[in-house]
Chains A and B, each alone.
Chain A
């Protein structure tokens, strides 16, 4: 019996024959003598195996000892999700949405977008300084921040440019990762920015603050002061451990629901002032040209959006029968109130089930059961948030903002299912 390849046929292959093979016997016998030390070596022991196909498992795992403990966990060898790194210091890499479940993005798969690479920062030397229009300009170490009362919140971060490729050119071969993979959700631990601002004593005349990162472009964005006293955080932990370097280690600004770029990573300075600074990233970038010859600036809140991640292309639905259509929905304005799914390209819609409570400014997973009878279908999802905002079609977005709109894409997208079950991207909504 050959090692089982990681295909959909795996269950069938495992069930096919309960008989012990030569390799089982060999591995079992050695296992009795050598214990867990040899648990990972069955392929090497098999002289017949000339072209091993990884991963390999015994035909019956209940008949030999399993693997040892380890200092760091690893995914099953059958699971190999990866980001899609592109570019170097000004690069990005998208989260493989179609390979994830639930809401939380594993930290090593959180999307990346850097403008000057990932800085190497020593947590014992990095500090955060608050100054400008404050009573007491203060500098905090990481240890200082951890002495304040902590908060734990689950929020998404979405890149302002997420969905541009699918908006510009909705090619059938696009994947969920390519279409919308610049959104990730984490459980964040940190301190409320209001706590830090109280500590420094923000003067009443302060209306904006500049947030500056410690990377090689000193990423800087202007933020209205009321956001600090609403729900802004300075976070140092992500999904139960310190931030990943790519996510701002040792500390980052988190402005829930606001465009990704303003959640300044590697945060080192907050300056209080009376007007926005008009930095490069809030003037020449991250603005929204409009058909009337103007451009919106400071478009902070991300509008409601959703994406079906299963089924997702490229792939093939099989077999005929019941399938769960599943995906994620989110809004920068609060909770997702409703997600509808259409299987006929938007001619009719029905409510999807929200799996678990919808947290404000976080993703929520939805599902709708669907019986595929072998015909063609177009699967779409449409989110509505608690502000009553309904996710628009691509045509509605083009009508409102023009085909040249450059950020903040939240058009309805989905998947075409062919009669043979083949799944391809559908973006022309």
Chain B
């Protein structure tokens, strides 16, 4: 049906086009459609559309505590990221740590300063989004939403971002402000002069 609707457009374009124009070359242009592709199904979107934006509007129901997160971390994360989140270079980055030398965002001055969740990440929603989509390494995407809240809580608490007796849910995760969120600036390079 959709293809039939396109035909008059093809003819109109052929008449107004170059002498050599025919139905093969007079294809839809300027935002017109070809009618290719199938409507995206709700089931497909439901399975794939699980990203969490920076305002946390999409955060699901559920909750988890720091203590629950610690047990999960030791069982499913520590083998790669270390018992205390110290990481295992180069594949498994350090997650936890607030060394004094790295406070105040001095990363440009010293390449050895570790970029951790606590001293570098700008949004707590990123933590939830990433753990849910990509972790744990051996079974990506296998964690329940409660488990993702718990692991987020544990990692934020270990980085001194939230209290160690905290419980995270959608509302409390949205309220978390990362310590250095305001240090990020858009790309301000202006060619040709800027590096």
Interface residues of A (CB under 8 A from B): 87-91, 116, 127, 129-131, 136-140, 144, 147-149, 168, 195, 198-201, 210, 212, 216-218, 220, 268-269, 271, 273, 275-280, 283-284, 287, 289-291, 293-301, 303, 333, 385, 387-390, 392, 396-397, 400-406
Q: Quick one: given A131-B40, A293-B183, are A116 and B140 in contact (CB under 8 Å)?
A: yes
* Interface-lining segment among B66-74, B110-118, B144-152, B163-171: B110-118
Interface size class of B (residues with CB under 8 A): 35 or more
Give min CB distance, A85 to chain B, whole Å. 13
The residue on B at minimum CB distance from A216 is B140
Closest 9 CB pairs of A and B: A402-B108, A400-B195, A388-B192, A289-B107, A137-B40, A217-B134, A138-B37, A389-B192, A289-B108
Residue of A nearest to B111 (CB): A404
Assembly CA distance A299 to B184 (angstroms): 12
Complex interface: chain A residues within 8 A of B48 (CB): 129, 212, 268-269
Contacts of A287 in B (CB 8 A): 184
- A199 near B140 (CB under 8 angstroms)? no
The docked-state distance in angstroms from the alpha carbon of A406 to that of B113 is 11
Closest chain A CB from B21 CB (angstroms): 15
Return B44 CB to nearest CB of chain A, in Å. Answer: 6
Contact assessment for A283 and B122 in the assembled complex, using a CB-CB cutoff below 8 Å: yes
Residues in chain A near residue B45, CB distance under 8 A: 129, 131, 137
Cα(A294)–Cα(B184), bound, Å: 6
> A283 vs B186: C-alpha distance in the bound complex, in angstroms?
11
Instruction: Please tell me if the beta carbons of B108 and A404 are within 8 angstroms of each other in the complex.
Output: yes
In the assembled complex, B39 has its CB within 8 A of some CB on chain A: yes
Interface residues of B in 71-100 (CB under 8 A from A): 90-92
Bound complex: CA A297 to CA B45 (Å): 29
A404 touches B41 (CB 8 A): no
Complexed CA–CA distance, A137 and B53 (Å): 19
A52 to B143, CA, bound (A): 56
Give CA–CA (A403, B49) in the complex, Å. 39
* Contact yes or no, B123 A283, CB < 8 A: yes
Q: Which residues of A contact B185 (CB under 8 A)?
A: 290, 294-297
On whether the beta carbons of A293 and B54 are closer than 8 Å, the reply is no
Do residues A277 and B107 form an inter-chain contact, with CB atoms below 8 A?
no
Known contacts A271-B49, A387-B192, A404-B107; A283 and B126 CB within 8 A of each other: yes
Distance in angstroms from A356 CB to nearest chain B CB is 24
Give every chain B residue within 8 A of A168 (Cβ-Cβ). Answer: 111
Docked Cα-Cα span, A277 to B134, in Å, equals: 16
User: Which B residues lie within 8 Å of A387 (CB)?
Assistant: 191-192
A198 near B37 with CB under 8 A, answer: no
Asked whether A87 lies within 8 Å of B91 as measured between CB atoms, the reply is yes
**Chain A positions within 8 Å of B40 at CB level:** 129-131, 137-139
**Residue of chain B at shortest CB distance from A130:** B40
**In the docked arrangement, what's the CA distance between A87 and B92, Å?**
11
> Assuming A138-B40, A140-B38, what are 20 further A-B pairs, CB within 8 angstroms?
A129-B40, A129-B44, A131-B45, A139-B37, A139-B38, A139-B39, A198-B33, A218-B140, A220-B51, A271-B51, A279-B51, A289-B105, A296-B185, A296-B189, A389-B191, A400-B194, A401-B108, A404-B109, A405-B108, A406-B107
- Residue from B52, B133, B195 in contact with A396 in the complex, judged by beta carbons closer than 8 Å: B195
In contact, B129 and A279 (Cβ under 8 angstroms): yes
The answer to the question of B9 belonging to the interface, with a C-beta cut-off of 8 Å to chain A, is no
Bound CA–CA A216/B185 (angstroms): 30
Asked if B22 is at the interface of the complex by the 8 Å CB criterion, the answer is no
Which of B34, B40, B41, B54 is packed against the most chain A CB atoms within 10 Å? B40
Contacts of B133 in A (CB 8 A): 217-218, 220
Contact yes or no, B186 A138, CB < 8 A: no
A392–B195 contact, CB under 8 A?
yes
Q: In chain B, what residue has the closest Cβ to A138? A: B37
